[in-house]
Structure 1
Amino acid sequence: MDSTVPDGVTIERASSVTSWSELIRARFVDLQITPHTAPDLRGAVRSRHLGHLQAATVRSAPQTFRRTRPQIAAATADLFAVGVIEHGTGYLEQDGRRCVVADGGFALYDTSRPFTWSLDGVWDMRVYTWPRTGLPFADAELERLTARTIARSSAVGSLVAPMLHRLSADDAPTLSPRNAARLADEMAELAVIAASEAEPGDTRTHDHDHLFQQVREFVEDNLNDPQLDAERIAAEFFVSTRTLHRMFARHDLTVANWIKERRLEACRRALCSRSWENVPIGQIAAHHGISNASFFSRAFATRFGMTPRNFRRQQRAH
C-alpha cells in the first residue's frame, strides 16, 4: 500500500495472528482466522467511509475467515457486506451455498449468520460494509442472495463493480453528509439488484411469480383494511418495500395503483349485486377501504366512465 495517505483514508497493519484478529474485529466483526501455510500472519486494512458505508481494501496471506454462531450470539451489531476479489481467489460459503469469486467479481454476505471466506494465492479483497440494522432488506431476501457470484463481466456486474471500485479509490468523491448517506443506501440497493440477477433464472422466476401471486391474493383478501399499503404488504411477506415495488414494476404496475384498482373493481361488483342493492354507496366504498366519498366518486368515474350513482341506476334499469 502507498505510503502517502489521502485525507479520510485510514491504514492499519498487523504483524501476528493475534494482532491481525484484533484488527479484523475492530474494523469489521469478530472472526475465527486460520492461516493456510504461514505460521503467522501479516496484513493491512486500508479503509474510508462514505456515510455509513465503509469501503476497505484488505491484504494478507492465504487464510480462512469463519464467522461462528458463538461469535454471532456475542455480537452487539452485524453488517451487510460485499466482498470483491481483485487478485487471488476467494471461496465464500453461506446459507447452504458456496461460490467462487475472482477477477473483480463480488458476492454478498451477512455477518448475522455463519459464513466462511477462504482466500488463496496472493489476494487482494475489497470489502464494503453497511450496518445491518440501517438497511431496508428483510432477512429472507438476503438469505436468498448471499454466496452467489456476480461476475464483473455480467450485465449488472459491469455497472456495479466499477462504482464499487471508485468508492475505495484514493480520489473517491467527497460528498456532503446527507448525500453520502443517500449514495451509501443506493450502493447497497445496487448490490442486492446485482445478486438478484445472479440467482438461477428458472428458480428466480418461479419464486417471484409465486410470491407475486400470493401478494395479489393477500390484497384481494384485505381490501377492507384502510391501512393496506406497501409497508403493510411488505411486512406480511418479510420483504423490503423496495423489493415489493420492484416486483410490481416488472409487471408495469405500482402497488398503490393495484390496490386502488382492486378496490374499485370490488365496489363495481358490489354495485351490480342484489345482496348490496340497499347498502348506501358510501358504505360500500368504506367497506372496501375507501373512506373518502368524493375521491371514490371521481376515481370510479375515471375508471368506469360514470359515477357510482349512475352506474347503480343503470344496473337497476337492466
Structure 2
Amino acid sequence: MGADRRRSRVLEGYLDTRRAPARPARDAVLVRCQADVTVARSWRLRDVDCCLIEGADVDVVPYRRNAVPRPGADERGIALGFVAAGSMQITQDRHSVTLRRGQVGLYDGLTPFALHSEVPHRYLVAHLRRQVVRLRPEDRDSLMARDLSAFVGAAALGALLATVVEVGEDPMPAAGQHLGDAILACVLAIVAESRGPAVGERSSLLFGELADWLDAHLPDDLSTERLAAEHFLSARYVRKLFADHGTTVTAHIRDRRLERIRDELLAPWNADVPVSAIAARWGMRDPSAFSRAFTRQFGEAPAGFRSRAVRRPRDPAG
C-alpha cells in the first residue's frame, strides 16, 4: 500500500462569526486531507453560526491546544451537519452515521468526534449554542451521531438548509433572524420527536399554555410562584413541568425577554430609544444585569449588537 500523501492543518475560527482579531477562536479542528479543504462561506443566522466547507478525502477531529478547556468552552454547544453534496460520516461516543446528500446529523462540540469523507463534498456545519438547545443526557445518547432520517423535523431541516446553501448569499438581518429561528425550531422538533410520548400530550399542552401566558406577560414581574398561582397549580409541579421540557421558569422568562429585546434593537423605529429603555420595557430593569445576560446569550454587548446591525449595508435594489 502506498504512503498516505495527505497533509494535516489546523482550521480555526471557521464557525466563530463573532471572532475578534485579538481573541482566540472558539472552535478549531485538525484536518487531514490530500487536497486542501476550502471554507466557501461563513455566515450567521441569529443564534446559528454557519460555515460551508468544500473538500475531498478528509478526516477531521477536534483540536485543542490546552488539555484543560478554557473558560467559556462549553459555548460551543451542539454541531449540526448537513451534506449539500457527496457524503460525510460522523462518529462520536461509539456511534456512527453516514450522511448522504440532503441529510442532517448532530454531534456534540465538546465531546471527541470524527468526520470522514472519501468523496468530493460540500458540507455545511452549524453551531447551536447550549443556551438555545437544552438537551437531557438521554437526548445526547439518542441523537448524537445517529440516523435522524425517520424524524419529520430532520426532513424539514434538510429542505431548509438546502435552500439556504443554494441561495449563495447572506440574507438581510431581519430575514436572517427568522431563518435562524426556523433552524432552531426544526432542531427542537427533532428533540421532541426523539422523546416520543414520555412527556405526555397533556403535559405538553399545559407547558404550551404556561409558556403562552408568560409571553403575554413578559413586561410584568414574573416568578414561578405567580405563574403557578395564576393557573391554580403548585410551584413544585410547575418547576417539574419545565424541567421535563429541559428548562426552568426563570431561564424561559429570561430567554424570551432577551429575544424580544434583541428584535426591538433591530427595529429602525427604535434607533433613538436607549437600550436600557427597551430592556426595561420587557421587564429587565437592571441595566448591568441585562447587559451581562444579553452578552452571555448572544456573544456581544447589546449596544455593539445594535451598532453592527445598523452598519450592515443595505441592498441598493431594496
The TM-score, its normalising length taken from structure 2, stands at 0.52
Which residue of structure 2 lines up, in the alignment, with residue 91 of structure 1?
Answer: 89
Aligned residues: 205
Q: CA deviation at 1:212?
A: 4.9
The reply to whether residue 167 of structure 1 matches residue 169 of structure 2 is: no
Max radius of gyration: which structure? 1
Q: CA deviation at 1:139?
A: 4.1
**Partner secondary structure for residue 187 of structure 2:** helix
Map Cα deviations across residues 170-207 of structure 1 (whole Å, 9 max, x no partner): 2564243xx7445424412312423654x5xxxx65xx
Map Cα deviations across residues 231-269 of structure 1 (whole Å, 9 max, x no partner): 44333x582479xxxxxxxxxxxxxxxxxxxxxxxxxxx
Map Cα deviations across residues 40-88 of structure 1 (whole Å, 9 max, x no partner): 6342241121223222210123111123786673463313221011222
The reply to whether residue 104 of structure 1 matches residue 136 of structure 2 is: no
Which residue of structure 2 lines up, in the alignment, with residue 66 of structure 1?
Answer: 61
Instruction: Give distance in 2, aligned partners of 1:68 and 1:159.
Output: 32
**Partner secondary structure for residue 148 of structure 2:** coil
> Where does structure 1 lack aligned partners over 5 or more consecutive residues?
1-15, 217-222, 243-318
> Where does structure 2 lack aligned partners over 5 or more consecutive residues?
1-6, 18-25, 205-228, 250-318
The reply to whether residue 44 of structure 1 matches residue 42 of structure 2 is: no
The TM-score, its normalising length taken from structure 1, stands at 0.52
Instruction: Give distance in 2, aligned partners of 1:119 and 1:131.
Output: 26
Is 1:136–1:240's contact at 8 Å kept on the other side of the alignment?
Answer: no
Is 1:140–1:239's contact at 8 Å kept on the other side of the alignment?
Answer: no
Distance 1:30-1:55 versus aligned 2 partners, 3 A rule: closer
Off by >6 Å, runs of 4+ in structure 1: 68-72
**Partner secondary structure for residue 53 of structure 2:** strand
**What residue identity is the alignment partner of 1:124?**
R
**Partner secondary structure for residue 239 of structure 1:** coil
RMSD of Structure 2 on Structure 1 (CA): 3.9
Give the % identical residues: 15
Instruction: Give distance in 1, aligned partners of 2:183 and 2:108.
Output: 16
Map Cα deviations across residues 70-123 of structure 1 (whole Å, 9 max, x no partner): 667346331322101122221111234211101211101120222111122011
Instruction: Give distance in 2, aligned partners of 1:114 and 1:128.
Output: 17
Which residue of structure 2 lines up, in the alignment, with residue 188 of structure 1?
Answer: 184
Q: CA deviation at 1:125?
A: 0.3
**Partner secondary structure for residue 62 of structure 1:** strand
**Partner secondary structure for residue 73 of structure 1:** coil
Distance 1:72-1:184 versus aligned 2 partners, 3 A rule: farther
Distance 1:23-1:164 versus aligned 2 partners, 3 A rule: same
Instruction: Give distance in 1, aligned partners of 2:179 and 2:116.
Output: 30
**Partner secondary structure for residue 61 of structure 1:** strand
Instruction: Give distance in 1, aligned partners of 2:138 and 2:185.
Output: 12
Instruction: Give distance in 2, aligned partners of 1:129 and 1:193.
Output: 17
Distance 1:154-1:64 versus aligned 2 partners, 3 A rule: same
**Partner secondary structure for residue 21 of structure 1:** strand
Instruction: Give distance in 2, aligned partners of 1:105 and 1:52.
Output: 21
**What residue identity is the alignment partner of 1:163?**
L
